[in-house]
A and B are shown apart, each in its own frame.
Chain A
């Protein structure tokens, strides 16, 4: 019997465990995309019931209410009613509610019920409810609500058994379930909160409103003095882990691709094709892939902190500070991701519901020092800053690196503050953020989360970076140097001419033509500036021989120029892929132009000042 799959939609309040239930039902058979025209994530998955019935599950965005103006909640509302363009109305709505938080979640259940669509209630987190001594009289609850109620434990294998059996018995359009009509006793009247109170009084006994464990942890985690200290310590651990776990993997991938490139190079005849394969394809793809481990390590920690419920606490602690500079506590998570790479950072701003706060976060995210800037800083600091101890404890090189990180953060605060002052928008932008119960993160959910983010990152970015790397290779290879050329080949290429043309505007910053030229590939991926400088100064061994390259740099330009270049990299509008993601996430070229424009002005001004001052003092 072949029939169309049953379309089931999962809805519920944020933090009801809906996504964990979705993961349990569909496993890895998920498709993540966007709803057309908005940056609201659309997650779809499939599974088959024991009787062989195919079910298509849609994980709708979490919502507190259906008559709101937030894009997420509007999508949920329209899809449920079958009004969303290109989305058929679901055959069955599974409303998910946290059994430990029914006072809030049942109101939403009643609101969904008023739509008069076939629905069932999944009482999720029944394990936590039992542990806390919460008793739910399920038959009574089902009778009062006028809809079937099943218990689920989304974090346990087989925890959705009752739900799957119920779906199996459902035939579209579900006649047995259609009794969840507006006429049912529960949905009568407008006072949803009053109805919830009545239902709870009859069907649920709750010994204590909150989890004693949460109260204990929060006494420390949200303490006015201890809270910020714990947060600082957690952040320190995360960054340590990113650099000590991610960095070696990144280097290994870079080396691996270099080795593959040289293997391929040996097999190919000398000429442009070989150079394209080894330099552009393997070099370029290796560079992009190389970021993946650091990004995944950072995301692993972000997912663990997120799943455990700690990140909203961090947002709570930092909100006041962030508001002062025109951001919101919710900006903290995307800005944290931006230290690995601005691309996932910009994508992560989706969790900020307020459009103005989201745009402000997107605009300052690229100022966080991403891992691609480190190779450039390492090269210039190693070559130009003396290895000296000052004030007895501080290493001068370390201080310069710290100053560059701090410049990014302070710059972001200044930019946020200025944008806030310039903005004509005087409306109030709400925080209204739920702090969920603490939970032990589940391996399955972390793994699926990592897989999703890694795949999105690769799919979206290998395309653009690859194309750009090939283009960069092309302009620095052609035209070939004439017979008897004495200068490096690159001097005769399109890139050489471009570099000399670029030097004109960049001369006041103290950049020579080679430095100006290195800004072009840096626009594709910042760390390629190192390789570009190595190429133009034709250092044997390429960028692997950092010491020789550093030595060559100190002979070719001054400390003032080097400082100016570092400051440029701290603020410059880079890279290309970040701008592409800003375009994708904001759906506006205006945001891209503003972002590029302000960073260019800030970087130019800061480098100019740095160079002109440094020239006179050093």
Chain B
């Protein structure tokens, strides 16, 4: 499942970040920011219009990601078990 499918407040583990085209700088930046396999991630809030962007917590940091950006991150939903 994708990070965009994660419901608000749920924790999941990052599986991987996909490049949507060759050498995708946005995917690379996401990996630099800590979206690496096994990292717990949580959707903290959604913006008022079209729930875009999402506010995502990774480590101790919160990033606003547009849905198109969050779409690159696949997560495994083992919910609270990840904590």
Which chain A residues have a beta carbon within 8 Å of chain B's beta carbons? 64-65, 68-69, 100-104, 107, 193, 206, 209-210, 215, 218, 222-225, 227-228, 312, 315-317, 319-321, 323, 329, 428, 430-435
Contacts and interface: CB of A to CB of B under 8 A. Distances in A.
Given A104-B61, A320-B52, A430 B33 contact: no
Interface in B10-36: 25-26, 28-30, 32-34, 36
A209 B29 contact: no
A434 B63 contact: yes
Given A102-B60, A193-B34, A430-B29, 5 more contacts: A65-B32, A222-B47, A227-B48, A430-B69, A435-B64
A524 B12 CA distance: 58
Contacts of A102: 60
A107 B26 contact: no
B16 to A, nearest CB: 13
Nearest to B83: A209
Contacts of B33: 64, 104, 432
Nearest to B32: A65
Interface string B31-52: 0111010010000111111101
B3 interface: no
A315 B30 CA distance: 20
B77 to A, nearest CB: 18
A315 B53 CA distance: 10
A64 B59 contact: no
Contact of A65 (B29, B55, B62): B29
Nearest to A134: B60
Contacts of B62: 210, 434-435
A210 B64 contact: no
Nearest to B33: A64
B66 interface: yes
Contacts of B58: 104
B81 interface: no
A206 B59 CA distance: 11
| 3 nearest A-B residue pairs (beta carbon) | A103-B59, A320-B49, A65-B32
A65 B25 CA distance: 12
B37 to A, nearest CB: 9
Interface of B: 25-26, 28-30, 32-34, 36, 39, 44-50, 52-53, 55, 57-66, 68-69
29 contacts: A64-B29, A64-B33, A102-B60, A103-B61, A104-B34, A107-B32, A209-B59, A210-B62, A215-B44, A223-B45, A224-B47, A224-B48, A225-B48, A227-B48, A228-B48, A312-B64, A316-B45, A320-B52, A428-B26, A430-B25, A430-B26, A430-B69, A431-B65, A431-B66, A432-B29, A432-B30, A432-B33, A434-B61, A434-B64
Given A224-B48, A316-B55, A317-B47, A101 B61 contact: yes
A321 B63 contact: no
A556 B73 CA distance: 66
A435 B29 contact: no
Given A193-B36, A222-B55, A206 B50 contact: no
Contact of B64 (A223, A225, A319): A319
Contact of B68 (A104, A206, A428): A428
A103 B35 CA distance: 11
Contacts of A321: 49
Nearest to B48: A224
B66 A430 contact: yes
Contacts of B49: 320-321
B60 A103 contact: yes
Nearest to B35: A193
Contact of A319 (B26, B29, B39, B53): B53
A319 B61 contact: no
B25 A68 contact: yes
Nearest to B38: A197
Contact of B55 (A68, A225, A435): A435
Contact of B57 (A107, A209, A316, A432): A209
Nearest to A221: B45
B48 A432 contact: no
Contacts of A224: 46-48
A210 B60 contact: yes
Contact of A222 (B25, B45, B57, B68): B45
B45 A218 contact: yes
A316 B59 contact: no
A329 B57 contact: no
Contacts of A320: 47-50, 52-53
Contacts of A312: 64
A430 B27 CA distance: 10
A320 B50 CA distance: 8
A435 B63 CA distance: 6
A433 B63 contact: yes
Contacts of A193: 34, 36, 39
Most buried by A among B36, B53, B60: B60
A319 B68 CA distance: 13
A92 B60 CA distance: 28
Given A228-B48, A316-B47, A428-B26, A210 B53 contact: no
A14 to B, nearest CB: 11
Nearest to B61: A104
Nearest to B54: A316
A318 to B, nearest CB: 8
Given A101-B59, A103-B60, A316-B64, A432 B45 contact: no
Contacts of A69: 25
A316 B44 contact: no
Nearest to B40: A209
Contacts of B61: 101, 103-104, 434
A228 B45 CA distance: 14
Contacts of A329: 53, 64
Contacts of A225: 48
Contacts of A100: 60
A316 B53 contact: yes
Contacts of B45: 218, 222-223, 316
B32 A64 contact: yes
Nearest to B11: A209
Nearest to B29: A432
Contacts of A218: 44-45, 55
Contacts of B46: 224
Most buried by B among A218, A223, A321, A428: A428
